[in-house]
Every structure is written in C-alpha cells, then in structure tokens.
Amino acid sequence: MRTVVVYVHGLWLGGGESFVLLRRLSRALGAECRAFKYSSAGATITDNVASLEAYLGGIEADTLHLLAHSMGGLLLVALFDPARVPGTRARRAGPTLELPPGRIVLTGSPVRGSLSARRLARLPFGRAMLGPTAGEVLAGPPVERRWPGARDLGVIAGDLGVGLGRLLGPMNGPNDGTVMVDETHLPGAADQLRIRSSHTGLLFSAEVARQAAAFLETGRFARPSRGCPG
C-alpha cells in the first residue's frame, strides 16, 4: 500500500521550507512526502489550483494525504470547491475531482481572509508584493468559507504572537504573529487545534508534525483542541 503526502506551501515560499516537517511525517506514517511548488505571487488562484490539480492527478498512490501551510490551504479549499469544474476555469454544481482517498491538514491557513494581507495591500507596492492569488483570497473583505466535507480536514492554528504581521499593526486576539486564530476557523472541518507556535514555527514544530500525523492517520488530532473556535 503506497501512501503519499503532498505539501502545499504558502506565500513567497517554494516548498523547501517543509523539509523538516515532511521528514517527520514520512517517518511517522511510512509515507512518501513531496512538496508542490507553484507561483505564489505571480499567478492567479485559478491558474495555481489548475496546476495543483494536474500535479495531484499524476500521482499514483493508494492513499493521498494533503498538507498545507498558510495560503496553501486556500488552494486546497478552492481545489475541492464542489462548484468548480476540474481542469477548467468554469464552475458548476457537482462533485469535485477524483483522487485516491486521504485526509487534509491545514496549518496557519487564513481561510477567512487575512488582516495582515489587507494591511499590506494598503501600503505602496503592497498589492504588487502580494500578487494575484493573495490579492484575491487573502486581501479582500473577510469571508465565511465552509468545508464541503469532500474528505476529512483538520485545522492547526498557532497562538505564539511573534511574526512580521505584527509590524503592520496590532493584532487584537490570539494569533501566530501573522494570522489570527479566528481567521483559520473553517466550519465543516473534522477537528481544529491550537498549538503554541508562531506562523513560521508551525513548519518546524515537532508537535505540529505529531498532531498532523495523528490526524492524517485517524481523522482526529492526538489531543483535544485548546481554545480554537468552533
């Protein structure tokens, strides 16, 4: 039985930052782990999701788990949008793409939009720095997304408020220094968890790796959520 875990990176990253996390997951799950690279600041959400779909469609596996950090989680949510026609820019009501069975974990993903991104977009050259994808899914007005339940999905949020997002203004409420905890809340998720970590620290935390492995294997995190909404 072949198990593959695919990691989807966030804004301004390229996938290499996941090396420690994926190595830990590979050991815990006996899985082959890969990082999907996309143009996080140079392409639209539609084009990036189409690239992700094509990449995943070329993987032969019995079980295919997905793991995302930050904006990468928005690509996964869009990928499984039941109104999207796989492989096209069009949308319709109906099933999503067919992939091998598996689960999904989002880490530090602002699925409801990002206060930090909205603040950056208001600065000179800020929107250009964000690029088309972040400009559309992060810097717009806050949104209420719901996971359609295509497969079990778990959410990990950090609450160690140390990060570059704080340089853009105060963050009133639990946050990881870049993303507010309540921005990660996704109704329809199977489980949600708060961990003492900064935004970047989520990628290097042994506890995040342990919890992600538990969820990918069982559909639940290894301990109850701590103060996460919903």
Does 166 or 115 have the greater pLDDT score? 115
- At 229 the pLDDT is 46
pTM above 0.85, yes or no: yes
- At 156 the pLDDT is 98
Residue 101 amino acid letter: P
Confidence label for 87 from pLDDT (cuts 50, 70 and 90): low
Assign residue 186 a region (left: φ > 0; alpha: ψ between -120 and 50; beta: otherwise): beta
Q: Which residues contact 172 (CB under 8 A, 6 or more apart)?
A: none
**68: helix, strand or coil:** strand
Per DSSP bridges, beta strands 153-158 and 3-8 are: unpaired
Quick one: average pLDDT of 61-74?
Answer: 98
CATH classification for the domain delimited by 3-218, as one of 3.10.20.600, 3.40.50.1820, 3.40.50.10800, 3.50.50.60: 3.40.50.1820
Quick one: average pLDDT of 37-47?
Answer: 95
Q: What is the arrangement of strands in the sheet containing 153-158, beginning at the earlier edge strand?
A: 32-36, 3-8, 63-69, 104-107, 153-158, 191-195
- At 98 the pLDDT is 82
Does 114 or 88 have the greater pLDDT score? 114
Lowest mean pLDDT: which of 20-24, 25-29, 82-86, 87-91?
Answer: 87-91
Residue with the two structure tokens 């409420």: 173
Task: For the chain, give every domain's residue range.
Answer: 3-218
Q: What are the two backbone dihedrals, phi and then psi, of residue 16, each rounded to the nearest 5 degrees?
A: -65, -25
Q: 138-184 pLDDT, tens per residue? A: 998 888 999 998 899 999 999 998 877 777 888 999 999 999 999 99
What is the token pair recorded at 108?
């530090």
- pLDDT at 215 exceeding the cut of 70: yes
Contact between 136 and 47 under an 8 Å Cβ cutoff? The reply is no
Does 31 or 84 have the greater pLDDT score? 31
- At 163 the pLDDT is 79
- At 14 the pLDDT is 95
Q: For residue 188, how many C-alpha atoms fall within 13 Å in the half-sphere facing its CB?
A: 14
Contact between 176 and 159 under an 8 Å Cβ cutoff? The reply is yes
Q: 130-139 pLDDT, tens per residue? A: 999 999 999 9
Strand partners, 155: 106, 192
Confidence label for 86 from pLDDT (cuts 50, 70 and 90): low
